[in-house]
DNA sequence: GAGTAGAATGTTATCGATAACATCGTAGGC
DNA sequence: GCCTACGATGTTATCGATAACATTCTACTC
């Protein structure tokens, strides 16, 4: 069924049907009512593919995340989706699985759908995506990090500085034998940045780095459970395990509890990200607070601004930092 | 840039370029190589919107889930995405937020994109979506429940029977003062089914229902933390709190631990879904095991079969039950 | 060497909506 | 009462790829 069919049924032209469906055009109220009624009765659903081709507006925005299982990214995607829905846009989600090559393939596949904006979870990108993005001439927003050479707009925070701040705060609490537990894969630059931040904070305090790694990103609770052994065999005198993320930290704590160890008395543990589990779990987990929803909302806002800006006068690149501050909780609160 | 431009550059026709891009057509190897080279050099990205309109194949499948934050649904979506990617299809994700009206709107919006299949998270549907789905003439798969009147294909399990089985197993363990804690909203039929299963199991043992509710779906860990008070004020003699989901159960356990209560000695707790947290948390949580990934993979498989089946001879409706069995763990293991 | 099969490529029409321009009619100003 | 302006609607061309059919041209058969 096409617009033509609706039109013929009412003795009008397809164009009038088209106009009746987009509320801004000038159509007589009675005509519009008749069109909407006919559409309802016939169960007509417009073909947006044809509409997109003709109007050169796909109604899509594309977002690439490394993982959907991570509650943080899903929350960002959720907030972004809501923000864009207000502008009548659908979100196309691509899952890179922390794989740079996969990201490049997805960028190509998604650009073929002519998105009107694209959101990348900042990470080391395959250089080949840059010309493709440039040619697409659409707003690009990188989220979840502050890249050294931004492509265009950015909403995020420095994973390095945030982790450095957390470790510095913990050192200030009196900890010194702090061991870092992260993922094995360096393609995940967010993980690598956090590790670097840890190293810097340790160095600033005159301490050497104590690095362990387990599993591949994203780090899971199960990785944390196994990770405790790794940490203890490499650095038996560890006082505090600084984990790359909250789920990993939770796993380490669970492993401690299975051994009958009290956290933080026997071993302290910190995470990153302020997942719900960090607030609710017992003990509550010391972490870096990130508002994943805010990142999505801000990114949606920037895309809105970019659309509102004149086409010929594109919006100047926006770099919008979001807070990422240490939050000390019971898992590292020890009287000394 | 269009195919025309590539073609002109090589002195061939656009059609040949089109054929070179889809490997099955007959194009001379040298021609194909030249085309691919030119495309690479020029950074040409085909316009899939035009392609879809012409070929009447959108390359999309649409999936509707009540929530993306729920690790279960995101895992299903992930597995589904991988299964469909193998067939070169992209996944369009819609978030219903447990809202039937929203679901209906999304179905309409997504059908306008001409998906080649649609996956619904089974729930009470708005009746208006049925004619729209019928008209779309595409495979429809309902997942995560066994609806009484399936639309077409189904991959899921009976939430009612699964919960009934879990409660029966717990009663067999010696528990009798079992209080149910779920969400307040009945629009979430999966939650309502689980509650019904609880009631049936209690009735079968000659016990009356003890029902509490907290928050709106999806139940969070925070809801669980607050829920303990609700349960105790309504049924102070409760021995076991049967929660509608694992995160809720985790919250209840956390609240117990904050009170210094030992789970399960002072109060036992059960969940539903076998989330990672149920396995890793201490104590491990008694639950109903569901393989969320399997649901996605099976759904993808059915869609594949439906495509392979002749267009005129559509695949007969497939009802594929997945296991959902009780898994007794430490959170209810008490010597009696 | 005529005939034919089939590989390689070109031509034309089409998918279904919408942009851009054209037309018609009527209300209101002078 | 004529003219203008604009509201309401129609017509035509177009978006960019691909299906379907047409056309070459080569290689091989008998």
Q: What span, in angstroms and rounded, lies between the C-alpha atoms of A112 and B44?
A: 10
Q: What span, in angstroms and rounded, lies between the C-alpha atoms of A154 and A131?
A: 18
Task: Note the strand D nucleotides within 7 A of protein beta carbons.
Answer: 7-12, 14-20
Q: Is A261 exposed, middle or buried (0-12, 13-18, 19+ CB in 10 A)?
A: middle
φ, ψ for residue A7, nearest 5 deg: -60, -50
Strand C reaches within 7 A of the B15 CB: yes
Please count the helices (runs of H) and the strands (runs of E) in chain A: 13, 12
Q: What span, in angstroms and rounded, lies between the C-alpha atoms of B255 and B238?
A: 15
Q: What span, in angstroms and rounded, lies between the C-alpha atoms of B9 and B42?
A: 10
CB contact under 8 Å between A113 and B132, yes or no, is no
Mean pLDDT, rounded, for B215-241: 95
Check if the beta carbon of residue B84 is closer than 8 Å to that of residue B60.
no
Q: What is the pLDDT of residues A109-152, one digit of tens each?
A: 999 999 999 999 977 899 989 999 999 999 999 999 999 999 99
Q: Is residue B329 part of a domain?
A: no
pLDDT of A330 = 97
Q: Is residue B22 part of a domain?
A: yes
CB contact under 8 Å between A135 and B45, yes or no, is yes
Give the number of domains in chain A.
Answer: 3
Q: What span, in angstroms and rounded, lies between the C-alpha atoms of B203 and A100?
A: 56
Mean pLDDT, rounded, for B135-164: 95
Specify whether A167 is located in the same domain as A209: yes
Q: What span, in angstroms and rounded, lies between the C-alpha atoms of B215 and B204?
A: 28
Specify whether B21 is located in the same domain as B37: yes
Specify whether B233 is located in the same domain as B127: no
pLDDT of A46 = 96
Among candidates B49, B111, B221 on the partner chain, residue whose Cβ is nearest the Cβ of A52: B49
Q: What span, in angstroms and rounded, lies between the C-alpha atoms of A113 and A167?
A: 44
Interface test with B, best of A220, A256, A281 (most B CBs within 10 A): A281
pLDDT of B309 = 81
Q: Is residue A257 part of a domain?
A: yes
Q: What is the DSSP string of A58-88?
A: --EEEEEES-SSSHHHHHHHHHHHHHHHTTT
Specify whether B168 is located in the same domain as B282: yes
Q: What span, in angstroms and rounded, lies between the C-alpha atoms of A291 and A26?
A: 43
Q: Is residue B87 part of a domain?
A: yes
Lowest mean pLDDT among B20-24, B106-110, B167-171, B175-179: B20-24
Q: Is residue A336 part of a domain?
A: no
Q: With a cut of 50, which residues of chain A have pLDDT below it? A: 336
Specify whether A164 is located in the same domain as A285: yes
Answer whether B69 touches A (CB < 8 Å).
yes
**What are the chain A neighbours of B282 within 8 Å (beta carbons)?**
254, 257-258
CB contact under 8 Å between B92 and A95, yes or no, is no
Q: Is residue A277 part of a domain?
A: yes
Report which secondary-structure segment, H or E, holds A325. Answer: strand A325-327
CB contact under 8 Å between A282 and B58, yes or no, is no
Asked if residue B123 has pLDDT above 90, the reply is no
What residues make up the domain containing B262? 159-289
Q: What span, in angstroms and rounded, lies between the C-alpha atoms of A11 and A89?
A: 32
Check if the beta carbon of residue B67 is closer than 8 Å to that of residue B218.
yes
User: A331: which DSSP letter?
Assistant: G
**Among A74, A77, A62, A71, CA closest to A114:** A62
Specify whether A203 is located in the same domain as A309: no
pLDDT of B312 = 63
CA distance readout (Å), A232 to A7, A240, A241, A247, B314: 75, 11, 10, 19, 59
Q: Is residue B268 part of a domain?
A: yes
State how far residue B83 is from chain A, nearest Cα, in angstroms: 13
Mean pLDDT, rounded, for B55-67: 95
Q: Write out residues 287-306 of B within 8 Å (CB-CB) of A.
A: none
pLDDT of B69 = 84
Helix (H, G, I), strand (E, B) or coil at B4: helix
State how far residue B85 is from chain A, nearest Cα, in angstroms: 11
Specify whether A209 is located in the same domain as A266: yes
pLDDT of A323 = 97
pLDDT of A312 = 63
Q: What span, in angstroms and rounded, lies between the C-alpha atoms of A47 and A45?
A: 6
Specify whether A153 is located in the same domain as A163: no
Check if the beta carbon of residue B169 is closer than 8 Å to that of residue B332.
no
Among candidates B68, B225, B282 on the partner chain, residue whose Cβ is nearest the Cβ of A257: B282
Q: What is the DSSP string of A215-234?
A: SSSSP-HHHHHHHHHHHHHH
Asked if residue B197 has pLDDT above 60, the reply is yes
Interatomic CA–C1' length for residue A49 and nucleotide C26, angstroms: 38
Q: Give strand ranges (E) for chain B.
A: 60-65, 90-95, 118-121, 140-143, 153-156, 178-182, 211-213, 240-243, 268-270, 287-289, 319-321, 325-327
Please count the helices (runs of H) and the strands (runs of E) in chain B: 13, 12
Q: Give the model's confidence band at B86: pLDDT under 50 very low, under 70 low, under 90 confident, else very high.
A: confident
Specify whether A265 is located in the same domain as A187: yes
Q: Residue A39's domain is classified under what CATH number?
A: 1.10.260.40
At which residue do the structure tokens 């790359």 appear?
Answer: A244
Specify whether B172 is located in the same domain as B283: yes
At which residue do the structure tokens 């508002």 appear?
Answer: A291
Q: What is the DSSP string of A248-308?
A: HHHHHHHHHHHTTPPTTTT-EEE-SB--HHHHHSSSPPBEEE--HHHHHHHHHHHHHHHHH
**What are the chain B neighbours of A43 within 8 Å (beta carbons)?**
131-132, 135
Q: What span, in angstroms and rounded, lies between the C-alpha atoms of B99 and B78?
A: 22
CB contact under 8 Å between A257 and B78, yes or no, is no
Specify whether A145 is located in the same domain as A196: no
Q: What span, in angstroms and rounded, lies between the C-alpha atoms of B108 and A15?
A: 21
Strand C reaches within 7 A of the B16 CB: yes
Asked if residue B23 has pLDDT above 70, the reply is yes
Tokens of B68: 């993306």
Helix (H, G, I), strand (E, B) or coil at A125: coil
Strand C reaches within 7 A of the B31 CB: yes
Q: What is the pLDDT of residues B287-306, one digit of tens each?
A: 999 999 999 999 999 999 99
Helix (H, G, I), strand (E, B) or coil at B89: coil
pLDDT of A8 = 93
Q: Is residue A242 part of a domain?
A: yes
Helix (H, G, I), strand (E, B) or coil at B254: helix
At which residue do the structure tokens 């939430």 appear?
Answer: B159
φ, ψ for residue A247, nearest 5 deg: -60, -40
State how far residue A88 is from chain B, nearest Cα, in angstroms: 10
- Classify each residue of A210-219 as buried b or exposed e, where b means 16 or more C-beta atoms within 10 Å of its C-beta: bebbbbbbbb
pLDDT of A120 = 97
Specify whether B132 is located in the same domain as B40: no
Tokens of A325: 């501050």
Mean pLDDT, rounded, for B256-265: 95
Check if the beta carbon of residue A153 is closer than 8 Å to that of residue A139.
yes
Q: Give strand ranges (E) for B70-110.
A: 90-95
Q: Residue A196's domain is classified under what CATH number?
A: 3.40.50.2300
Chain centroid offset of residue A188 CA: 13
Q: What span, in angstroms and rounded, lies between the C-alpha atoms of A82 and A300?
A: 8
Check if the beta carbon of residue A202 is closer than 8 Å to that of residue A226.
no
Q: Is A237 exposed, middle or buried (0-12, 13-18, 19+ CB in 10 A)?
A: exposed
Handedness of CA A38, A43, A44, A45 (dihedral sign): positive
φ, ψ for residue A332, nearest 5 deg: -130, 10
A-B contacts (CB, under 8 Å): 118
CB contact under 8 Å between B43 and A131, yes or no, is yes
Among candidates A43, A69, A90 on the partner chain, residue whose Cβ is nearest the Cβ of B132: A43
User: What dihedral angle (degrees, nearest 10) is formed by the CA atoms of A150, A216, B74, B225?
Assistant: -100
Residue B56: count of CB within 10 angstroms of its CB: 10
User: What dihedral angle (degrees, nearest 10) is formed by the CA atoms of A7, A10, A12, A18?
Assistant: -40
């Amino acid at each position: 069924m096409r617009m033509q069919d609706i039109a013929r049924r009412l003795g009008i032209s397809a164009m009038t049907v088209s106009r009746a469906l987009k509320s801004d055009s000038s159509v007589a109220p009675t005509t519009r009512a008749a069109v909407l009624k006919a559409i309802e009765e016939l169960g007509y659903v417009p073909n947006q593919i044809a509409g997109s081709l003709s109007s050169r507006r796909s109604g899509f925005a594309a977002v690439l995340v490394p993982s959907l299982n991570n509650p943080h990214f899903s929350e960002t995607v959720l907030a972004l989706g809501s923000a864009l829905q207000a502008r009548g846009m659908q979100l196309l989600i691509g899952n890179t699985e922390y794989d740079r090559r996969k990201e490049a393939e997805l960028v190509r596949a998604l650009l073929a759908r002519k998105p009107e904006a694209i959101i990348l979870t900042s990470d080391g990108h395959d250089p080949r995506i840059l010309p493709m993005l440039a040619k697409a001439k659409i707003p690009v927003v990188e989220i979840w990090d502050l890249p050294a050479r931004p492509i265009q707009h950015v909403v995020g925070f420095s994973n390095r500085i945030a982790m450095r701040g957390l470790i510095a705060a913990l050192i200030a609490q009196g900890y010194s034998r702090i061991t870092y537990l992260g993922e094995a894969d360096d393609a995940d630059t967010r993980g690598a940045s956090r590790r670097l931040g840890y190293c810097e904070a340790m160095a600033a305090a005159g301490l050497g780095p104590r690095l362990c790694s387990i599993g591949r990103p994203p780090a899971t609770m199960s990785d944390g459970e196994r990770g405790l052994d790794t940490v203890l065999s490499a650095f038996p005198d560890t006082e505090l395990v600084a984990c790359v993320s909250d789920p990993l930290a939770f796993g380490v704590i669970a492993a401690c509890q299975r051994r009958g160890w009290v956290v933080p008395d026997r071993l302290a543990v910190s995470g990153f990200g302020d997942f719900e589990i960090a607030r609710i779990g017992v003990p509550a987990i010391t972490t870096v607070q990130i508002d994943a929803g805010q990142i999505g909302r801000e990114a949606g806002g920037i895309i809105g601004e970019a659309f509102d800006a004149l086409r010929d006068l594109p919006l100047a690149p926006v770099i919008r930092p979001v807070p990422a501050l240490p939050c000390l909780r019971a898992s590292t609160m020890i009287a000394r």
